[in-house]
Structure 1
């Protein structure tokens, strides 16, 4: 065996080898990007020791396959764009994924308040299409603000966007009456 491969093939008392741990990580990363903490959790669940896990994750980080800052940027961009999540929900998701606040901060700061308002407005417009026209105005406001709050938008942003969109709908309806 070559000297470089012997280190990775070194067997630990319990669990597998560093090479096996890296293979598990590579399979997981082939499905989707993951944080270092997520990978460590999965390896621990499979019975890899902390020592083997640290060596495997260290090597993958060294070659650039694990990068929590890049993971946070990709996660925030994707979830904000495609799932309509607000900053609060995204910050919570990243915490659950084990991303340090310092690694998550640059990604979250990349979403401006204008970006949040634009995305929230789009969500409200889509939801308004499915809300019955004869529904009480207060109920409509509660439903729309609640929908945005569940997606992680601040109450101020949610309320302002809903009020603006309802005023827009009212002015359009007045034109056709």
Structure 2
């Protein structure tokens, strides 16, 4: 992917049609209208930021989506639209939210399928955007990105396609940038400790042990610090 996008501004990328009040909401019934109104005047969250779904809905947010209604389909639409107004979601995330609010499974399935038809749920676009955002913003490698997408219920095939955006060359370039930013803070430590600390930082972001050690050793050599190489085992946890 060649373009750079700030995913905190979801209306800046046409690949994910989650903009409240768009034409796609017209066929979703009264729940769509209520969901659009609920999102006005609120700051949109970017990927990875806490939400009502993640930390528990506040009384005000519950009032927006869980309005008393005898029609569970209307309630399901309102809940989904409210959640999508805040930040993009996968189908599984929305299904889990509907289940917590005791929406019948058959109703939830019908509503979620309709949202997919009109493009309000698009797990493929979600995965692509997630990879671009989290790699650019946090420097995460393919392994860490794939793990995050798995926890959000994205299909393995879509995950593979999304992380394929990052080739080994781009991944290593990002690893070098991460080490360069941290290098100064490790000065004064002995060489072995610097290697462990910097390589551990990369390991926590999903980089392989081999790449992490190679990048760190090259960075130290370029800085002018020479020494005998010692074999290190870098644990994923740091």
TM-score of the two chains, using structure 1 as the length reference:
0.85
Selected match of 1:130 from 185, 195, 219: 185
| Equivalent pair of 1:145/1:159 in contact (CA under 8 Å) | yes
Provide the C-alpha distance between the structure 1 equivalents of 2:168 and 2:133, rounded to a whole number of angstroms: 17
Size of the aligned set, in residue pairs, is 159
Q: Who is 1:150 aligned against? A: 204
Aligned CA distance change for structure 1 residues 16 and 137 (closer, same or farther; 3 Å): farther
| Equivalent pair of 1:120/1:158 in contact (CA under 8 Å) | yes
Q: Who is 1:141 aligned against? A: 195
Cα offset, 1:121, TM superposition: 0.8
Provide the C-alpha distance between the structure 1 equivalents of 2:198 and 2:71, rounded to a whole number of angstroms: 51
Higher gyration radius (CA) = 1
1:88 paired to 2:143: yes
- Structure 2 gaps, min length 5: 1-27, 31-69, 226-238
Q: Who is 2:116 aligned against? A: 61
CA-based RMSD: 1.7
- Structure 1 gaps, min length 5: 7-14, 172-177
Aligned CA distance change for structure 1 residues 34 and 139 (closer, same or farther; 3 Å): same
Q: Who is 2:107 aligned against? A: 52
Q: Which has the higher contact order (CA 8 A, sep 6+)?
A: 1
Cα offset, 1:34, TM superposition: 1.0
Q: After TM superposition, what 4+ stretches of structure 1 lie above 3 angstroms from structure 2?
A: none
Cα offset, 1:5, TM superposition: 5.7
Cα offset, 1:129, TM superposition: 2.3
